[in-house]
Amino acid sequence: MQQEDKFIQATNLIADANHLLVFTGAGVSHESGIPVFRGKNGLWQKYRPEELATPDAFRKAPRVVWDWYRYRRALIRKANPNPAHIVIAELERIKSTFLLVTQNVDGLHRVAGNKKLVELHGNIFYTKCTACDNCIYEYEGENWSDLPYCECGALMRPAVVWFGEPLPEAALTQAFEFARTADVVLVVGTSGVVYPAAYVPLIVKQHGGKVIEVNIEPSAITPHADIFLQGKAGDVLTHIMKLLTRSK
């Protein structure tokens, strides 16, 4: 199939969808200047995320892990939503039954305007206590220069899901329940190898829904995709939005 035919088919599926699910990964934020973990230009590879983003790493070297998170927070604070985030926010406005499930912790979908969203792996600007329920939002910048301690005396940590940790149950349930009813899932910029998040598009498929994938290169999701649109998320989604607007 020609690329333009695939675009038209994908646009028609999105236009006709009663329940639209959008599932995103680090690739959707790449054009905002935030490096991905895997794939081409996975700049954070030099920091070996699988070794730093773990409870064990934090126990052994909390300062190193916090330095890495503060570096990432600073990078993300400077970033703005790109055209892919903008189109996904627009999809929420035009589709009445919609859910965005993101694996990203950068919060850029919120900045772009998405409200019906599940942040499966948390949000990098939250800091939580390792002992009590204290959790604070620190978007404007941390007012601490050494390691952060809670009023209860315990060390605070980034409130994101680390490798080997369970996902927040409510978020996962909401994502899986919507996936069972979705007639289309638009998968954007994920390698599809981080579980259980990667089950989301597979559940849609199992329940008879269609899978549209956008990625610069094939991923673990591609064998399950009904339509694979190869290209940068910003370019591909902007083109789809143009076709959607035209087809109204």
Q: Give the catalytic positions in this structure.
A: 121
- Which of 19, 73, 157, 232 is the binder for ligand NAD (CB under 6 A)? 232
Phi, psi of 230 (to 5 degrees): -90, 125
106 binds ligand NAD (CB under 6 A): yes
Max CA pair span of the chain: 61
Our finding on whether 34 is near ligand NAD (CB under 6 A) is yes
For the segment 169-198, give every residue that binds ligand NAD (CB under 6 A): 189-191, 194
- Over the window 119 to 138, marking each residue x when it contacts ligand NAD by CB under 6 A and - when it does not, the resulting string is --x-----------------
Choose among 79, 103, 223: nearest CA to 175.
Answer: 103
Buried b (16+ CB within 10 A) or exposed e, 152-189: eeeebbbbbbbeeeebbeebbebbeebbeebbbbbbbb
Q: Site for ligand NAD (CB under 6 A): which residue of 7, 37, 98, 125?
A: 37
Minimum distance from residue 77 beta carbon to ligand NAD (Å): 13
If one asks whether residue 201 binds ligand NAD (CB under 6 A), the answer comes out as no
Closest CA to 130 of 150, 156, 158, 164: 156
Interacting residue with ligand NAD among 39, 148, 158, 201 (CB under 6 A): 39
Instruction: Judge residue 99's burial from the number of C-beta atoms within 10 Å of its C-beta, 0-12 exposed, 13-18 middle, 19 or more buried.
Output: buried
* Near ligand NAD by CB under 6 A: residue from 14, 21, 36, 156: 36
Stretch that binds ligand NAD, among 6-14, 36-44, 56-64, 237-245 (CB under 6 A): 36-44
Among the listed residues 245, 217, 246, the one whose alpha carbon sits nearest the alpha carbon of residue 233? 217
Residue 26 as a binder of ligand NAD (CB under 6 A): the answer is: yes
In angstroms, rounded to a whole number, what is the distance separating the alpha carbons of residues 12 and 183? Answer: 12
Q: Which residue has the closest beta carbon to ligand NAD?
A: 27
CB of 232 to ligand NAD, least distance (A): 4
State yes or no: residue 29 binds ligand NAD (CB under 6 A).
Answer: yes
At 114, is the secondary structure helix, strand, or coil? Answer: coil
Binding test (CB under 6 A) with ligand NAD, winner from 88, 91, 99, 105: 105
- CA distances to 28, 29, 52, 119, 157 from 214, rounded to whole Å, are 9, 13, 28, 19, 33
Closer of 19 and 121 to ligand NAD (Cβ): 121
At what angle are helices 83-94 and 233-247 packed, to 10 degrees?
30
- Residue 170: what residue type? A
Does the CA dihedral 228-10-175-204 come out positive or negative?
Answer: negative
User: Shortest approach of ligand NAD to residue 193 CB, angstroms?
Assistant: 6
Cβ nearer to ligand NAD, comparing 150 with 224 = 224
Give contact residues for ligand NAD (rule: CB under 6 A). Answer: 25-27, 29-31, 34, 36-39, 42, 103-106, 121, 189-191, 194, 214-217, 219, 232-233
